[in-house]
Amino acid sequence: MAPFAIFIALTFCQGKLGPASPYWIYLAKTGVGAWLIWAMRPSVREMRWAFSWEAAVVGVGVFVMWVGIDGIYPPLDQVLARLGLVKATEADLWDPLRQFGNDRALAWTFIGARILGSSLVVPPLEEVFFRSFFYRYVSKVDFLSVPLATFSWGPFLLTATIFGLDHNQWLAGIFCAFAYQGLVCWKKRLGDAITAHAITNFLLGAWVVWKGAWHFW
C-alpha cells in the first residue's frame, strides 16, 4: 500500500504550489515512483511483468474504448463542478506546450516524462494496489491467502468503481478495471494486467500528443 499512497500524496500536491507545479511534481513523482517499484520488488513477488497476446489485445482494446466513448458522458471534473464541489476551468488542463510555450525543450521533457511515467511507473503501482491488494482484501482481510484467479462480484464491482473514480474519465476507468481484473483472473497472475495497462497508457499518451487531446491527461 505504501508506494501507491506516496504516489497519490504527490499527485495531490500537483497544482497546489503554483501553475507550473503539476509538471515539476509529476516529474518528481515519476522518479520517486520508479524508486519505490525497485525498492518493493523483493517484497512483492507478484509484481513481475508478463507478456502475452491476451495482454496486448486487452491493452489495445482498452485504449480504443477509452478514446471511443469520450464525449458521450461527462468527465468527473464536470460532474463535481455541477454539484458545486469543484470549479473546473480550462486552465486545469495538463498542457506543457501551452504552459511552457517559449521553452519547447522543457515542454517536451515534461511530455516525455508523462508518457514514460504513465507507461512504466503507473501500471505496476496501480495494478499491485488495486488488482493484487485491494480486490483480494475486500474478499478477505488475509488477502494473500486469496488466489489471484479468484473471481467475486462484490470485490470486482467495488474495485472497478473506485479505480474509475480515480480517473477523470471515470466511466472508461470502470470499463478499464473490468478488463484488467478479468485478465488477472483469467491468466492467474498480475503481470499481464501490468503489461496491458502499460500498452493502454502508452497508446493514450501517443494519442494525446498526436491529437492535442490534453483532457485525457
pLDDT above 90 coverage of the chain, percent: 77
The predicted pLDDT at position 92 comes to 67
Domains: count for the chain: 1
Please report how many Cα atoms fall inside a 13 Å half-sphere around the Cα of residue 197, on the Cβ side. Answer: 30
Q: Is 192 helix (H, G, I), strand (E, B) or coil?
A: helix
The label of the residue with cell 494519442 reads 207
pLDDT computed for residue 90 by the predictor? 52
Contact criterion met (CB below 8 Å) for 163 and 130: yes
Expressed as residue numbers, the domain containing 152 is 2-216
21 neighbors 100 (Cβ within 8 angstroms): no
pLDDT tens, position by position, 41-74: 898 989 999 999 999 999 999 999 999 999 999 9
pLDDT level of residue 16 (50, 70, 90 thresholds) = confident
Query: Could you tell me which of 207, 9, 213, 146 has the C-alpha nearest to residue 154?
Result: 146
Q: How confident is the model at residue 19 (pLDDT cuts 50, 70, 90)?
A: confident
- The reported pLDDT for the residue numbered 62 is 98
Q: Is the pLDDT of residue 208 over 80?
A: yes
